[in-house]
Amino acid sequence: MKNSLHLEMYRRMVRIRRFEAAAVDLLAKGELAGGLHTTPGQEGAIVGACVALREDDYMVGTHRSHGHPIGKGASLRGLMAELMARSTGVNRGKGGSMHLADFSVGSLGETSIVGSGLPIATGAALGAQMKGTDRVSLCFFGDGASSEGTFHESLNIAAIWKLPVVYFCENNLYAISTPARETVSVEHIAARAAGYDMPGHVVDGQDVLEVYEVVKSAVDRARSGGGPSLVEAKTYRFEEHAIGLNHLSYREHAEVEQWRKRDPIALFRDRLLDEGVISRGDLDKAEEDVGAEIGDAIEFARSSPDPDPAEAFDHVYATTLETGA
């Protein structure tokens, strides 16, 4: 086992968990505006997939947007400042929680219209291919998005053009409150790969190493010209769709508790310790470091200025036109 890679995977998973816990706390204190869609339970799927990419590879995400850029290596300062609507936010206060993007680490943006990121990731792969680079593009999407037309159109386009893209489904079993078992025609979303003549894989999303191994092979295949793959991670959202949505009865308490026992962070920690790969001290130190990073990010955001209201008019166009003869 590669000690440093595993420690980094652990650090990124904890970073996502702690970052979101801090965000929930800030929301309760009234320091955050808007909605907050959190990820607890899905960190293994996210980090396993992201770590299988190179830093210069592309990644597109979803409205459940915090984990993906963190997984891809984005700095927490800009992300936290964005959640807190500051001018130093990674989107300069224009995007907020559902639309985080950090192009400096290949994070091409999270989108809040379900399914809309799939063609974007496909296009980034086309651009990589046409420019003759060996970059790969990875698209996160959910079980709900697998019913959108853009999912099917994208997989078809990627297949006919052999694009270097990995479609990664975080199947957390519910589109808000609607069960995938009632709305998706197949038991495994990965089975839909067959319709597009590409490999489909089902992985245990609570096992970060399994996710990593499978996505890595799909990424390697894409990078070497083998074309696209579809990977489906079976995972679970421990919290509600968004913070503040409580008392929904679409899932049994026992089901939630069952999944909570398979917390991807706890499972990974136990495994690392059991196998003696990383010492308890090193894991504790990683958690402490992450705690300090989060504190620093919050402090950075709090001390950053609000955007000037006039900035609402910036970034509408890349090229402002001179009108008038």
Partner 1 sequence: MSMQPRSKPGPEVAKLNFLAALRDAMAEEMRRDADVFVMGEDLRQNLYGSSAGLLDEFGPVRVRDVPLAEAGVIGTAIGAAMVGMRPVVDITISPFLYPACDQIISIAAKSRYIYGGQTSVPIVLRASLFYNAGSAAQHSDRPYQFFLGVPGLKIVVPSDAASAKGLLKTAIRDDDPVLFFEDFNLWSTSVRCDHDDEADRTVPLGRAAVKREGADVTVVAVAASVGLSMKAAEKLGQEGISVEVIDPQTIQPLDEETIFRSVRKTGRIVAVDPAHRTGSFAGEVLARVTETAFASLKAAPRRVCTPDTHIPFAPVMEKGLYPSVESIVDAIRETVA
**Does position 118 bind partner 1 by CB under 8 A?**
yes
CA–CA gap between residue 281 and residue 138 (Å, rounded): 34
State the residue for tokens 């499978």: 214
| Distance from C-alpha of 78 to C-alpha of 256, rounded to nearest angstrom | 32
Q: Could you tell me which of 102, 92, 93, 94 has the C-alpha nearest to residue 71?
A: 102
Query: No. of H helices and E strands in the chain?
Result: 11, 8
Contact partners, residue 213, CB within 8 Å, separation at least 6:
none
**Binding region for partner 1 (CB under 8 A) out of 69-77, 98-106, 173-181, 186-194:** 98-106
180 forms part of the interface with partner 1 (CB under 8 A): no
Member of 108, 219, 231, 278 binding partner 1 (CB under 8 A): 108
Distance (Å, whole) CA 251 – CA 142? 18
Q: Is residue 157 involved in binding partner 1 (CB under 8 A)? A: yes
318 near partner 1 (CB under 8 A):
yes
Shortest distance, position 73 Cβ to partner 1, whole Å: 15
- CB-based burial label for 215 (10 Å; 0-12, 13-18, 19+): buried
Q: Which stretch binds partner 1 (CB under 8 A): 16-24, 99-107, 167-175, 185-193?
A: 99-107
Is residue 15 within 8 Å of 292, Cβ to Cβ? Answer: no
> Residue 271 is encoded by which pair of tokens?
């495994």
* Beta carbons of 204 and 259 less than 8 angstroms apart: no
Nearest to 228 by CA among 236, 219, 216: 219
Q: Residue 84 interacts with partner 1 (CB under 8 A)?
A: no
Residue 103 CB, nearest distance to partner 1 (Å)? 4
Nearer to partner 1, 100 or 189 (CB): 100
136 binds partner 1 (CB under 8 A): no
The C-alpha atoms of residue 61 and residue 72 are separated, in whole angstroms, by: 11
DSSP states of 310-322: GGGGTTS-SS---
Closest to partner 1 by CB, 254 or 316: 316
Distance in angstroms (rounded) separating the CA atoms of residues 74 and 70: 5
Stretch 25-64: interaction string toward partner 1, x if CB under 8 A: ---------------------------------x-x----
Nearer to partner 1, 102 or 240 (CB): 102
Taking CB under 8 A as the rule, does residue 228 contact partner 1? no
Spatial CA neighbour of 19 closest among 269, 259, 301, 209: 301
> Interface with partner 1 includes 75 (CB under 8 A)?
no
Number of residues that bind partner 1 (CB under 8 A): 50
Q: Of 92 and 223, which CB lies nearer to partner 1 in the complex structure?
A: 92
128 contacts partner 1 (rule: CB under 8 A): yes
Q: Does residue number 315 form part of the binding site for partner 1 (CB under 8 A)? A: yes
Out of 75, 94, 176, 262, the residue judged to bind partner 1 by CB under 8 A: 94
125 binds partner 1 (CB under 8 A): yes
Q: Give min distance, CB of 145 to partner 1, in A.
A: 12
101 binds partner 1 (CB under 8 A): yes
CB distance 200 to 190 below 8 Å: yes
Region near partner 1 per CB under 8 A, out of 17-25, 122-130, 195-203, 204-212: 122-130
Q: Which residues bind partner 1 (CB under 8 A)?
A: 58, 60, 89-95, 99, 101-103, 108-109, 111, 113, 116, 118-128, 130-131, 137, 149-150, 153-154, 156-157, 160, 314-319, 321-325
